[in-house]
Structure 1
């Protein structure tokens, strides 16, 4: 299951999380973001034991994307121990998304 994260709880939910966290920076008006939505949900269901998956709406919560230099969406970042360990920008297939996450967590 994916979790909605905002600027208010980003630090608690992502930076202070016990394990790795995949963050999906997205927006309601972004076509590729909407296309990736179901794949991100599937990733969360399949890898939920190994990694936490969260979504940040950049329009509702602009601080975190600004802080981490998000320029295009969708942007996916993997955080470990409060640090960004890898970033991918743009759409991916389900296989590409799963392989990327598995390689960094």
Structure 2
């Protein structure tokens, strides 16, 4: 009796997968894009929240990576947050953006000598290639980032 239930459950799972994927052929293109988790994980369309404990692994996974170092109560940091969010979406597939609060991540702040905020740390292949301090209009920040990453 148990083997019949197991076979029925397996058959149900197969039928469900065929219905979801659109049959035995190729995936429905719209559905396939949603199921491609590697694109979402490697190039997310929103900034990745980073910490002292996660930055090293993020540098191994994401390249290039632009880290927005911000602090609580920093008005220029708050203004730049919208710009970083928009750029993360606009550059999905090319550049990953991350956010790191300097108030709670003293190891990273000390290692990269972040003394003022906002500061952008621009990494390529795990190596810091440029550090930028201050909030600028989006066009200038974009120029700085693309130039540092040799994408211009």
Structure with greater helix share of residues: 2
TM value normalised by structure 1? 0.93
Matched, 1:28 2:72: yes
Matched, 1:76 2:76: no
Secondary structure, aligned partner of 1:73 = coil
Gaps of 5+ in 2: 1-45
Checking the alignment, whether the CA contact within 8 Å between 1:78 and 1:104 is kept in structure 2 is yes
* Residue 50 of structure 2: aligned partner: 5
- Asked which structure has the greater RCO (Cα within 8 Å, sep 6+), the reply is 1
Decide whether aligned partners of structure 1 residues 71 and 49 sit closer, same or farther in structure 2, where only a CA change above 3 A counts. Answer: same
Selected match of 1:45 from 67, 89, 107: 89
* Residue 105 of structure 2: aligned partner: 61
TM value normalised by structure 2? 0.65
Q: Which runs of 4+ in 1 moved over 2 A?
A: none
Give the length in aligned residue pairs.
104
